[in-house]
């Protein structure tokens, strides 16, 4: 099975499709599978990722190294039930040479074995579970996004050092939520902070946070740290304001709390919320300024971290493909391994460490600038250690 | 005791607000199933139509927008219920599973169409002017809009009960439940009764969707969560009973609010724990209707 797949993977190099002739030096076609959610709750993330991917290709004449890029889009859907078969189809029917994408951590973990067997490199452009590049690590699975702990720990250390007083910790009750809570508490306590209390809310079925908000109030917390995304992020931030906690107990969060389209839905309730993330449109560097301008010109909206993750995945894959002599999984992963620092990313310089980004995490605060809500950068919290 | 009450007053109050909302939602499902024997799994999708209508008419900007959204939602609900009545007519003598499949299919189509029209982003709907602020209750803030929901829920509960129990229309509906054949033998077309009951039942779903928009917002997937809650309420209260829907909704409101506040660690299980408990003690629900199925 593995042999057939590998042979298929090399097939496109031979130029038997699309009439492009083979040979690495003379160019050829690289087929890249873009695995993004096109249905279900993660669809907005998928749209942003596709836009980031396409923007990079447009800026680079649709080429990675000497290869023409042919993108095959596959619908990841909401869960591994749809995501794993989508990846399987890319590997068997579409015989892709590399894959980029995947929002859901369970999907990323679920395809690791197939990807390794097929020897097709996968650059995970969102999923943040630590295990993807640690316990379940494979030489073929790379990541251009973040790990859940990396982002939570940055806030934990920051709040602990600031001495904000006891903090209440909340997250949805599923793998990523638990990772964030663990990562935050460990870093926060190591920096001298005390936890006022914690709660894990039922994932996906909590629309009303009032009971938990009462718990925060009665715990005597001086701050709240949460991890929510999507619809839950909107409900939480709005209700935190409506029930009057916003003015008395400052809200901190993992950056996804106020990232992308949820920020517009939250409106004024989000102003003043501080979060940590590896990207903000307001990061002050040349690459980011150019990126934001190009992105706005192309899509008439501000880029999100999801777009940057796909943009950077295209960037590292492009760099790797400039180095290789032949289009094989082994050659591409070897080239990825030798990339060193990525110095032209909108998020600032970063590099692979254990196949996942070692990068700066930024402290951001939501501000209303002439009617547009933005995540302004308060402070660069520095490069975070990799688990 | 007084201290405990003070500390949990907001949670109790919130339980009534959520309970009111759940009542408006579940009573439609309950009367349609209890009286007309139609299991409508598209109820959650109709609810979501209401929520998106609140987004369309920017219900938070003005009372005109809010009331327009309510009016349009009521109309859409009536029409959707009427259409559903026509669609389920050929299945009247078939088992419930066939109806469930049909209405589940309709709900999937409605959800997909909404996703095509409105995209997949999460929308929030601010409460109408004057209700956007929070009021101070026992030292804690509480959103004024949710207080209004309690009132609306109680008024509607009273109105529905009066119509069903005290008017000739209500008598006709109750008669159709008891013996359809006899009603039609008396010269009344029971398809018309079914048409009307399904219309009104679906109207409750869409109206609940508009009323819930400032609390829950509008987003893909909300229909399924809401349908599940409504089914739990109906099962706890007993099918076809107005009183049952009210009590079931208030119980679930308190469980979801006060229960979760008191035992946050059990938050994921408490809803279905309550359901299981009721089913063990009263398998036909707290107030099972007189319908025999």
How many structural domains does chain B have?
Answer: 1
Task: Give, in words, the CATH class of A149-277+361-383.
Answer: alpha beta
Q: Which of B7, B225, B267 to mutate to test the interface with A (most CBs of A within 10 A)?
A: B267
Mean pLDDT for B234-252 is: 87
Q: In Å, what is the CA distance from A350 to each residue of A125, A281, A328, B83?
A: 15, 17, 25, 58
Residue A281 pLDDT grade (very low, low, confident, very high; cuts 50, 70, 90): very high
Residue B85 lies in domain: 14-220
Residue A26 pLDDT grade (very low, low, confident, very high; cuts 50, 70, 90): low
Q: What is the pLDDT of residues B27-74, one digit of tens each?
A: 999 888 877 788 899 999 999 999 999 999 876 678 899 999 999 999
Q: Chain B closest CA to A321's CA: distance in Å?
A: 35
> Does residue B185 lie within any of the structural domains?
yes
**Contact between chains at A208 and B18 (C-beta distance less than 8 A):** yes
> Does residue B242 lie within any of the structural domains?
no
Task: Parse chain A into domains and list their residue ranges.
Answer: 2-146+285-354, 149-277+361-383
Token pair for B201: 């039942």
Neighbours of B75 (CB within 10 A): 13
**Contact between chains at A266 and B124 (C-beta distance less than 8 A):** yes
Query: Which residue do the tokens 């109050």 mark?
Result: B13
> Does residue B195 lie within any of the structural domains?
yes
Q: What is the pLDDT of residues B264-281, one digit of tens each?
A: 888 778 888 888 998 888
In angstroms, the CA B164 to CA B176 distance is 12
**Contact between chains at B261 and A204 (C-beta distance less than 8 A):** no
pLDDT surpasses 60 at A315: yes
In angstroms, the CA B218 to CA A57 distance is 35
Residues 6+ apart with CB under 8 A from B285: B234, B235, B236, B237, B238, B239, B241, B244, B248, B278
The mean-pLDDT minimum among A104-118, A126-140, A296-310, B130-144 falls in B130-144
- pLDDT over 90 percentage in chain A: 74
- Chain B residues with CB under 8 Å of A44 CB are 119-121
In angstroms, the CA A159 to CA B228 distance is 39
Residue B107: half-sphere exposure toward Cβ, Cα within 13 Å: 26
Predicted TM-score of the model (pTM): 0.86
Q: In terms of C-beta density within 10 A (0-12 exposed, 13-18 middle, 19 or more buried), how is residue A248 classed?
A: exposed
- The enclosing H or E element of A309 equals helix A305-323
> Does residue B101 lie within any of the structural domains?
yes
Which one, of B31, B281, B74, B54, lies nearest residue B174 by Cα?
B31
- Chain A residues with CB under 8 Å of B13 CB are none
* Radius of gyration (C-alpha) of chain A in whole angstroms: 21
pLDDT of residue A386: 64
In angstroms, the CA A384 to CA A357 distance is 10
Tell me whether the CATH fold assigned to A2-146+285-354 matches the one assigned to A149-277+361-383: yes
Cβ B258 vs Cβ A211: under 8 Å: yes
- The enclosing H or E element of B67 equals helix B63-88
Specify which residues A350 forms β-bridges with: A342
> Does residue B232 lie within any of the structural domains?
no
> Does residue B4 lie within any of the structural domains?
no
Instruction: Give the 3-state DSSP-derived string for B143-162, with helices as H, strands as E and coil as C.
Output: EHHHHHHHHHHHHHHHHHHH
Q: What is the pLDDT of residues A335-385, one digit of tens each?
A: 999 999 999 999 999 999 999 999 999 999 999 999 899 999 999 998 887
Cβ A82 vs Cβ A76: under 8 Å: yes
Q: In Å, what is the CA distance from A298 to each residue of A261, A294, A301, B157?
A: 17, 6, 8, 53
CATH of A2-146+285-354 given 1.10.10.10, 3.40.718.10, 3.30.365.10, 3.40.50.2300: 3.40.50.2300
Q: Which residue has the higher pLDDT, B141 or A11?
A: B141
Token pair for A331: 């050659």
- Choose among A199, A235, A242: nearest Cβ to B264: A199
| Torsion (CA) B7, B8, B13, B14 in degrees, nearest 10 | 120
> Does residue B243 lie within any of the structural domains?
no
Q: Chain A closest CA to B141's CA: distance in Å?
A: 5
In angstroms, the CA B254 to CA B260 distance is 9
In angstroms, the CA A48 to CA A50 distance is 5
Specify which residues A368 forms β-bridges with: A373
- Say yes or no: B71 contacts chain A, CB-CB below 8 A: no
For residue A176, the SS3 value is helix
Residue A380's φ and ψ, nearest 5 degrees, are -90, 115
- Choose among A44, A205, A218: nearest Cβ to B225: A205
In angstroms, the CA B174 to CA B242 distance is 12
pLDDT surpasses 90 at A33: yes
Average pLDDT of every residue of chain A: 89
- Say yes or no: B268 contacts chain A, CB-CB below 8 A: yes
- Choose among A215, A217, A262: nearest Cβ to B122: A262
Q: What is the pLDDT of residues A225-271, one digit of tens each?
A: 999 988 889 999 999 999 989 999 999 999 999 998 899 899 999 99
């Amino acid at each position: 099975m593995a042999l057939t797949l590998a042979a298929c993977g090399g097939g496109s190099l031979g130029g038997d499709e699309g009439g492009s002739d083979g040979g690495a030096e003379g160019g050829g076609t690289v087929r890249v599978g873009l695995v993004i959610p096109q249905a279900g709750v993660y669809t907005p993330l998928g749209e942003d990722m596709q836009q980031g991917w396409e923007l990079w290709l447009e800026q680079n004449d649709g080429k990675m190294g000497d290869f023409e890029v042919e993108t095959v889009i596959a619908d990841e859907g909401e869960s591994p039930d749809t995501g794993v078969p989508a990846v399987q189809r890319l590997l068997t029917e579409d015989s892709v040479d590399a894959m980029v994408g995947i929002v859901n951590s369970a999907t990323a973990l679920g395809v690791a074995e197939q990807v390794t067997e097929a020897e097709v490199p996968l650059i995970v452009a969102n999923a943040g579970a630590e295990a993807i590049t640690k316990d379940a690590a494979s030489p073929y699975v790379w990541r251009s996004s973040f790990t859940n702990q990396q982002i939570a720990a940055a806030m934990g250390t920051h709040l602990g050092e600031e001495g904000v007083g006891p903090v209440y910790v909340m997250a949805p009750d599923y793998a990523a939520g638990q990772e964030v809570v663990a990562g935050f508490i460990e870093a926060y306590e190591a920096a001298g902070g005390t936890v006022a209390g914690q709660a894990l809310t039922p994932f996906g079925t909590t629309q009303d946070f009032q009971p938990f908000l009462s718990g925060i109030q009665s715990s005597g917390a001086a701050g709240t740290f949460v991890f929510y995304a999507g619809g839950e992020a909107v409900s939480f931030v709005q209700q935190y304001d409506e029930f009057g906690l916003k003015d008395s107990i400052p809200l901190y969060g993992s950056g996804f709390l106020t990232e992308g389209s949820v920020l517009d839905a939250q409106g004024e309730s989000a102003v003043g919320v501080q979060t940590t993330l590896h990207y903000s449109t307001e990061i002050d560097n040349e690459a980011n300024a150019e990126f934001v301008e190009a992105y706005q010109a192309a899509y008439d909206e501000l880029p999100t971290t999801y777009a940057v993750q796909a943009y950077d995945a295209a960037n590292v894959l492009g760099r790797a493909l400039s180095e290789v002599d032949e289009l094989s999984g082994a050659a591409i992963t070897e080239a990825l391994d030798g990339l060193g620092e990525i110095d032209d990313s909108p998020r600032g310089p970063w590099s692979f460490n254990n196949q996942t980004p070692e990068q700066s995490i930024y402290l951001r605060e939501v501000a209303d600038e002439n009617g547009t809500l933005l995540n302004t950068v308060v402070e660069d919290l520095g490069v975070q250690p990799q688990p | 005791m007084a201290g405990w009450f003070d500390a949990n007053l907001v949670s109790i109050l919130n339980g009534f607000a959520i309970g009111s909302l759940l009542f408006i939602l579940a009573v439609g499902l309950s009367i349609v199933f209890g009286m007309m024997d139609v299991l409508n799994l598209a109820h959650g999708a109709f609810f979501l139509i209401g929520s998106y209508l609140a987004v369309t008419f920017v219900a938070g900007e003005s009372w005109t927008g809010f009331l327009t959204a309510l009016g349009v939602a009521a109309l859409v609900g009536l029409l959707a219920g009427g259409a559903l009545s026509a669609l389920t007519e050929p299945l009247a003598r078939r088992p419930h599973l066939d109806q469930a499949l049909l209405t589940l299919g309709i709900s999937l189509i409605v959800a997909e169409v909404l996703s095509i029209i409105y995209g997949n982003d999460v929308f929030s709907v601010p409460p109408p002017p004057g209700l956007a602020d929070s009021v101070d209750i026992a030292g804690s803030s509480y959103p004024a809009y949710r207080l209004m929901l309690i009132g609306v829920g109680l008024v509607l509960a009273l109105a529905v009960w009066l119509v069903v129990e005290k008017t000739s229309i209500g008598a006709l509906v109750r008669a159709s439940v008891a013996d359809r054949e006899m009603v039609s033998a008396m010269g009344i077309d029971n398809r018309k009764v079914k048409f009307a009951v399904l219309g009104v039942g679906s109207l409750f779903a869409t109206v609940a969707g508009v009323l819930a928009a400032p609390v829950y917002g509008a987003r893909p997937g909300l229909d399924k969560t809401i349908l599940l809650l409504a089914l739990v309420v109906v099962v706890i209260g007993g099918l076809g009973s107005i009183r049952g829907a009210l009590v079931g909704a208030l119980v679930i409101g308190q469980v979801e609010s006060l229960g979760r506040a008191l035992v946050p660690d059990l938050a994921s299980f408490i809803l279905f724990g309550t359901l299981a408990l009721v089913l063990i003690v009263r398998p036909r629900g707290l107030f099972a209707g007189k319908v025999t199925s």
